[in-house]
Structure 1
Amino acid sequence: MSASKQTHDHEEIKRWASARGGVPAKVKGTGNTNDEGVLRIHFPENSENKDDLEEIPWEDFFEKFDEEQLDFLYQEKKADGEVSTFHKFVNR
């Protein structure tokens, strides 16, 4: 069984995402000029559905992340030992 971890540390989140080819993103069509909308970590090399996500700067991502008081729930490895990209945002 693989264990999940939870954090709101910006550097830890960036490290995890970058190690897997992930970038900060938002769902297109959500938010407005003052709000990034629905946040995601996007893995462009592993995704067929690139049209509904828009890459954003880490600074904008974390501004919204902190404003919404979110935590990042994630896995380092799958049960079989493979690197995992499982993650989700949860309330602190």
Structure 2
Amino acid sequence: MAYNIYTNLFYGQPVSRAKSLSEPHKTTDTSTIRTWAEARGGKPALRAAEHQQTPPELCICFADSPQEAGLEEISWERFFTEFEDHRFVMVYREQETDGELSHFYRLMLRRAW
């Protein structure tokens, strides 16, 4: 049997082409973003800046992570207003390769993705 990148080398079975949970996903769906963040104890925040930044530096703060100075917790409504106004996309992972919930995410401008 010939093997290629879509064949499981141990069993010769086709490998699913669906993304694994440890691979990066991207979304602009506000419900998906909020559900993902809250499942990890995350809350929306905005990095305080001395001067108004465009776009704003939105982030998600996690309860089990040390809090950075200069972060202001904001409402989900404000977070998603800024998210849409500046046309962000969220790139994230559901879980790590060891099966633990992943906290990896990046907010990027949609034109950059």
Shorter-chain TM range is: 0.7 to 0.9
Q: How many residues align?
A: 89
Please report how far the alpha carbon of residue 31 of structure 1 lies from its aligned counterpart in structure 2 after TM superposition.
Answer: 6.2
Which of these residues, 59, 83, 87, is aligned with residue 65 of structure 1?
A: 83
Among all aligned residue pairs of Structure 1 and Structure 2, give the percentage whose two residues are the same amino acid.
37
**Larger fraction in helix:** 1
CA distance in 2, matches of 1:89, 1:16: 14
Task: Give me the TM-score of the superposition, normalised by structure 2.
Answer: 0.70
CA distance in 1, matches of 2:59, 2:81: 13
Q: Is the 8 A contact 1:30 1:38 kept in 2?
A: no
State which structure, 1 or 2, has the greater radius of gyration over its C-alpha atoms: 2
Code of the aligned partner of 2:93: Q
**Larger fraction in strand:** 1
Q: Structure 1: 5+ residue runs without aligned partners?
A: none
Task: Give me the TM-score of the superposition, normalised by structure 1.
Answer: 0.85
Please report how far the alpha carbon of residue 90 of structure 1 lies from its aligned counterpart in structure 2 after TM superposition.
Answer: 1.7
Q: Is the 8 A contact 1:26 1:54 kept in 2?
A: yes
